[in-house]
Amino acid sequence: CYILAVETSCDETSVAVVKNGTEVLSNLIASQIETHQAFGGVVPEVASRKHVESITLMLEGAVREAGISLQDLSAVAVTEGPGLVGALLVGIMAAKSLAFAIDKPLIGTHHIAGHIYANRLVQEIKYPSIALVVSGGHTELVLMEREGSFKLIGRTRDDAVGEAYDKVARALGFPYPGGPHVDKLALESETVEVLPRAWLEPDSYDFSFSGLKSAVLNAVNQHKMRGEEGYGPAIARGFQESVIEVLVEKAIRAVQSTGAVQLLLCGGVAANRGLRTALAERCGKERIDLVIPPLKYCTDNAAMIGAAAYLKWKSGEFSSWVLKAEPSITLESWSVGTCPEEG
Ligand code: ATP
Ligand code: MG
Ligand code: FE
């Protein structure tokens, strides 16, 4: 089974060819980060236009690099949501046109299912499994009782963790996307400014990062008013320690209380070195099997969309030609076996 996958939900245009849901034959990614940096964040209208400019070349490139012909393809997959509606539409139109032209099925795919199944590009997933999704727009704990079934057991009530990283980075003077800068600063810092942790109710798997973000902004303002300098590293470390402690604690508790046999980390913030190390140490201690995809599969890419789409291909759940962009589609509704669409 060869699936050509398209991902245009945000600011990366990506096309991949994935064999049997696990083997990446090509995975081309055109990042628009430099374009959006001038604005300090992703500008939706600009993102759509950029996708339009590069999508055709990316499609050709991905097929060429995979060393197959279009007729070898089994299906065409595309991110249908969540994401920016205009950006999603570009990928959907391209995928539909191609699928129609070569007479192959179309598979609308959930972006977060993609982030989770990026792990399948690394190794076999064992069930039940818990996924900790940490990205620019999502912070979730997902229980997968079997392959392709998704149950949301916790989510952020306000900011996503990547969003909080980007805002804190901006307050400390770093360009978008700021996550990697804060990560680096935090790990290099020898001092720490302790910041609050939001645990919420004792049994809750939900997250909240807006209070922490406000605490950072207040601290920065106070340092500035006192005319102090060099406070950045201690704040970055305090912020990162607070984020990591809560993420790790809740993820471990989710694994232990559900009897999950594996913990999957995914999403762009999975690139965070502090989080990777803390989670690995804790999982080692608790004897939990932890899987973390390599960096190139953590941030947005089409290979992960091909991996998730393979589940729908196996169960024969294809999308119709009226497939629409679904900016806020839920992960649960995309579970395999729950939303058969007519082909
Ligand atoms: P979503 O997947 O929820 O739609 P997205 O696709 O925009 O959101 P990703 O591309 O998965 O998000 O991740 C981007 C986010 O990851 C940005 O907020 C970025 O700052 C953050 N990020 C990347 N590297 C790191 C790092 N080392 N530490 C912390 N955050 C990071
Ligand atoms: Mg992105
Ligand atoms: Fe993403």
- Which tens digits make up the pLDDT trace of 188-197? 999 999 999 9
pLDDT of residue 150: 98
CA–CA distance, 251 with 279 (Å, rounded to integer): 9
Does residue 45 carry a pLDDT above 90?
Answer: no
Give the pLDDT band (50/70/90) at residue 342: very low
Most informative mutation of 88, 242, 299 for ligand 1 (most atoms within 8 A of CB): 299
Mean pLDDT of 45-68: 94
Q: So what's the pLDDT on residue 39? A: 83
294 upstream amide cis, omega within 30 of 0: no
* 185 CB near ligand 1 (under 6 Å): no
**Residue 153: Cβ within 10 Å count:** 16
- Ligand 1: atom nearest CA of 162 is 18
* Helices 232-258 and 273-286, packing angle to 10 deg: 40
| Residues, CB within 5 angstroms of ligand 2 (ion) | 10, 300
pLDDT above 70 covers what percent of the chain? 99
What's the pLDDT score for residue 329?
97
Atom of ligand 1 nearest to the CA of 169: 20
Residues 306-317 have a mean pLDDT of 98
Q: Are 108 and 323 in contact (CB under 8 A)?
A: yes
Can you give the pLDDT at residue 41? 84
Quick one: residue 196, left, alpha or beta (phi over 0 = left, psi -120 to 50 = alpha)?
A: beta
Cβ of residue 269 lying under 6 Å from some atom of ligand 1: yes
Establish whether residue 268 lines the binding site of ligand 1, counting it when its CB lies within 6 angstroms of any ligand atom. Answer: yes
Q: What is the pLDDT of residues 202-250, one digit of tens each?
A: 999 999 999 999 999 999 999 999 999 999 999 999 999 999 999 999 9
CB of 14 within 8 A of CB of 300? yes
Side-chain-side CA neighbours of 242 within 13 Å: the count stands at: 28
**Quick one: which atom of ligand 1 is closest to the CA of 137?**
3
- Residue (of 110, 89, 47, 114) closest to 325 by Cα position: 89
Kindly state the percentage of the chain with pLDDT values over 90: 92
- Ligand 1 atom at minimal distance to the Cα of residue 184: 27
By CB atoms closer than 10 A (0-12, 13-18, 19+), residue 232 is buried
Span 9-43, pLDDT tens digits: 998 999 999 999 999 999 999 988 888 888 888 88
Question: CB of 138 closer than 6 A to ligand 1?
Answer: yes
Ligand 3 centroid, distance to 111 Cα (angstroms):
7
Q: Taking 60 as the threshold, does the pLDDT of residue 119 lie above it?
A: yes
What's residue 47's pLDDT?
A: 87
Residues 6+ apart with CB under 8 A from 224: none
Residue 200 confidence (pLDDT) above 50: yes
pLDDT of residue 339: 54
Q: Which protein residues have their CB within 5 A of the ion that is ligand 3?
A: 135, 300
pLDDT in tens, 258-300: 999 999 999 999 999 999 999 999 999 999 999 999 999 999 9
Ligand nearest to the CA of 163: 1
Strands 290-291 and 262-266: parallel
Q: What's the confidence (pLDDT) of residue 38? A: 80
What's the gap in Å between 142 CA and the centre of ligand 2? 21
pLDDT in tens, 68-118: 999 999 999 999 999 999 999 999 999 999 999 999 999 999 999 999 999
What are residue 256's phi and psi, to 5 degrees? -70, -35
User: Which of 22, 8, 11, 9 is closest to 306 using CA atoms?
Assistant: 22
Average of per-residue pLDDT across 316-332: 97
Annotated binding-site residues for substrate read 133-137, 166, 179, 183, 272
**Residue 343 pLDDT exceeds 50:** no
The pLDDT of residue 340 is above 70: no
* Cα-Cα-Cα-Cα dihedral sign, residues 134, 139, 144, 148: negative
Check pocket membership of 111 for ligand 1, CB cut-off 6 A.
Answer: yes
**Which ligand neighbours the alpha carbon of 36 most closely?**
2
Spatial contact of 130 and 255, defined as CB atoms under 8 Å apart: yes
Q: What is the DSSP letter of 158?
A: S
Averaged pLDDT of the chain:
96
DSSP helix/strand/coil, 152: strand
Q: From atom 16 of ligand 1, which residue's Cα is the shortest distance away?
A: 268
Å from CA of 287 to ligand 3 middle: 29
Please provide residue 79's backbone torsions phi and psi, each rounded to the nearest 5 degrees: -65, 120
Contact 176, 166 (CB under 8 A): yes
